Structure 1
């Protein structure tokens, strides 16, 4: 959804409410730096909200754009924090990073006045380390299936409830459209680049097949099992004729670009892609449907979506910790959460907002897809702690080897199990 009158009205209301965050202007203004991502309309919303806070407090905000790739962003953050750099006051962090970076952030609880109690309890638990609230949630995320509803209707196909049905439907429509002259149409696009996004995609496939979550909550390594191999074999099969070879270099935005230009039947992506697909000038405006990701085969198959979402945290190396914390409280308030949802299509981390008529009108699938968020599959960041990044790196490379045909799924997972055993010293993380 483009920035429109409804968004403008909501934003004006936000400026009024914003006064609660900081009611007095400082005698001498300071500048706070905040690192924000730029996927979809993320950076634009971040700037608008930062400007609103600055106008209400009399301070300045320096918005720093960070890499879209979560892997590259984490590496940048680790470098800055390891050096104790005061250059960034507020970091936008992935849901899996409190366990990796939490020691570098201050406890926000003394500044929130209980505002965190409005958020989903599971997210707050995720953001609490050693009794300290190291981050406040901006929005929550889960993988979703986007589909061309016009093409499904044309071919008399239902929205697929299983991966097997998706594969069959994708092939039928792709082949039919190509015979009709649409040579550039593909059955499915997803994030297959060797990075954190592939970890999310592959975790969804494996969990939906009943193959576990790579590392169980108790730390036991469970990835080398037949159901996990079946899930990866399924995805590797798409590479033969249903997905473009370029998908091996796709992250979220490349995936969206192909789908939104009208060149794919199905797409796996995050909620942010919805308003962009419906924006003015989008070739697929009015032709897109959104639903939960398909389930694996019976008897153990189920719908599974990787838990995502982003948070704001304040660096303990910041020279303006109290001011930075005030900015975070404002940026994650209920009023701001509405703005993230209205302009960017981001799912609120505050349950009460799923009853908001304006939000539901702008994003009609919010309420129907709420179960995808409340029961999403977490990546094994809690179980593996500071070693999560190494675990994820090993996982996405094993999956990449399977997708590219360098190794079979069975061999890739056996090698991965052995590598993780060495990394964990027998499961003792």
Structure 2
């Protein structure tokens, strides 16, 4: 082959031809949740075959906190062993200096993505990461149990509390002693920031820190939302939910021991797996709102791929990044992993709609998403998030009321902000 680029599936998503690249092995660091490793292996196979290169997956902890901490250590040391990093949508402003600008390499691809996601990965005019998939959580619910007990999908957090308790108690009275009403992510980590932001924002309590940098978290609506959630552990949720991350919640749900679950799209495909006790028994809906005047607000997530400035295989790494962010890989990821594309046209793709009918429906959930305050707080975001999730976790654990803890949080955030973020 004598051309510089080899197109895989879609001309706009080009990858470098094997004759133009010496055979290389690139290392790819990514968090592994659910069946992510198997999905990744299938995704990179066409690129490996086309280029003659190989990809080595470096599995990271499922906890995004632990993952980010390890990334920062490697990048600060200018580690040459990792060529590509899969990064959370909120990390770009904090570690942008360590990544290659991908704007030129992905020039034909950029217009295909949701502009807001491209913007989130652009720092000081540099496109430091390419979108792989977006993420917005939903409310998973047992269709069979709601029908059995004459209940509707709850529209508010108050209704969820009541419905979860009603069905849980009725099922236990019939001998199903392991059933819980609602499982979610209550451990003190980034996932709790996402959960609690959803409660607060959907109740009219703001976004912790507003887009203009105003600290808004200390208000009655936010306190009421967190106080309501504090009634769940031991009542409609296991006491252990205060240590749950995504996989712990999915474990309870997938064994058939929960009526409702808050989780990300990846759990849908696994929940319908052949070994799942809830296969075919559940559906999803937008997360509840806070009261009659609120609005559903799923936390905007998503993952992107960045190329290290310290990589000695930058050419091959950039090639892989562009391929993984392109239409063919995103379509394949949607079909086999149930991940939400960031390429707009894929929401109208007939094959995706046939094989993953949930994805076109999830677009409605996506349109109600709320971002975490990483843009206004920039490099201080991790500390902001940590202060927030600890204040919430204290309340959930019974250490102070939400009003008390959010007042302390406001003061801590003011100290952190100083003269500006």
TM-score (norm 1): 0.94
**How big is each residue's C-alpha offset from its partner over 1:290-339, in whole Å with a ceiling of 9 and x where there is no partner?**
0100011133x111100000000001111121211100011111010011
Name 1:219's counterpart in structure 2. Answer: 213
Change (3 A) 1:57 1:105: same
**How big is each residue's C-alpha offset from its partner over 1:67-109, in whole Å with a ceiling of 9 and x where there is no partner?**
1000000000000001111111100000000111111111001
**Alignment partner of 1:250 is 2:250:** no
The answer to whether the Cα contact below 8 Å between 1:141 and 1:347 also exists between their aligned partners in 2 is yes
The answer to whether the Cα contact below 8 Å between 1:17 and 1:335 also exists between their aligned partners in 2 is no
Change (3 A) 1:27 1:275: closer
**Alignment partner of 1:95 is 2:89:** yes
Name 1:394's counterpart in structure 2. Answer: 387
46-55 vs 237-246, which deviates more?
Answer: 46-55
The answer to whether the Cα contact below 8 Å between 1:36 and 1:46 also exists between their aligned partners in 2 is no
Aligned partner (choices 411, 417, 420) of residue 418 of structure 1: 411
The two structures, once aligned, show a CA RMSD in angstroms of 1.6
Measure how far apart 1:52 and its partner are: 2.3
Measure how far apart 1:399 and its partner are: 0.6
**Alignment partner of 1:320 is 2:292:** no
Aligned partner (choices 198, 203, 227) of residue 233 of structure 1: 227
**How big is each residue's C-alpha offset from its partner over 1:140-162, in whole Å with a ceiling of 9 and x where there is no partner?**
01111000010000001111111
Measure how far apart 1:43 and its partner are: 1.9
The answer to whether the Cα contact below 8 Å between 1:272 and 1:346 also exists between their aligned partners in 2 is yes
**Alignment partner of 1:189 is 2:183:** yes
User: Hey, what's the Cα distance between the residues in 2 that align with 1:390 and 1:244?
Assistant: 28
User: Hey, what's the Cα distance between the residues in 2 that align with 1:124 and 1:157?
Assistant: 41
Measure how far apart 1:26 and its partner are: 4.4
Name 1:270's counterpart in structure 2. Answer: 264
Measure how far apart 1:62 and its partner are: 1.3
Name 2:370's counterpart in structure 1. Answer: 377
Measure how far apart 1:408 and its partner are: 0.7
**How big is each residue's C-alpha offset from its partner over 1:88-133, in whole Å with a ceiling of 9 and x where there is no partner?**
1100000000111111111001211421211101000101111111
Alignment of 1:1-400 (within 5 A): 20-26=14-20, 28-299=22-293, 301-400=294-393
User: Hey, what's the Cα distance between the residues in 2 that align with 1:33 and 1:210?
Assistant: 44
**How big is each residue's C-alpha offset from its partner over 1:7-62, in whole Å with a ceiling of 9 and x where there is no partner?**
xxxxxx96798994123434631211111221122222222222321221111211
Change (3 A) 1:147 1:242: same
User: Hey, what's the Cα distance between the residues in 1 that align with 2:21 and 2:119?
Assistant: 37
User: Hey, what's the Cα distance between the residues in 1 that align with 2:318 and 2:14?
Assistant: 14
User: Hey, what's the Cα distance between the residues in 1 that align with 2:390 and 2:286?
Assistant: 26
**How big is each residue's C-alpha offset from its partner over 1:386-423, in whole Å with a ceiling of 9 and x where there is no partner?**
01001111111111001100111111101100101000
User: Hey, what's the Cα distance between the residues in 2 that align with 1:388 and 1:19?
Assistant: 33
Q: Secondary structure of the residue that 1:284 maps to in structure 2?
A: coil
Q: Secondary structure of the residue that 1:396 maps to in structure 2?
A: helix
Measure how far apart 1:239 and its partner are: 1.4
Q: Where does structure 2 lack aligned partners over 5 or more consecutive residues?
A: 1-6
Change (3 A) 1:224 1:27: closer
Change (3 A) 1:148 1:71: same
**How big is each residue's C-alpha offset from its partner over 1:160-199, in whole Å with a ceiling of 9 and x where there is no partner?**
1111111111010000000000111000000001000000
**How big is each residue's C-alpha offset from its partner over 1:219-249, in whole Å with a ceiling of 9 and x where there is no partner?**
1111000000000011001114110011111
Q: Secondary structure of the residue that 1:401 maps to in structure 2?
A: helix
User: Hey, what's the Cα distance between the residues in 1 that align with 2:10 and 2:356?
Assistant: 24
The answer to whether the Cα contact below 8 Å between 2:92 and 2:120 also exists between their aligned partners in 1 is yes
Q: Secondary structure of the residue that 1:215 maps to in structure 2?
A: coil
Measure how far apart 1:365 and its partner are: 2.4
The answer to whether the Cα contact below 8 Å between 2:233 and 2:242 also exists between their aligned partners in 1 is no
Q: How many residue pairs end up in the alignment?
A: 415
Q: Where does structure 1 lack aligned partners over 5 or more consecutive residues?
A: 1-12
Q: Secondary structure of the residue that 2:359 maps to in structure 1?
A: coil
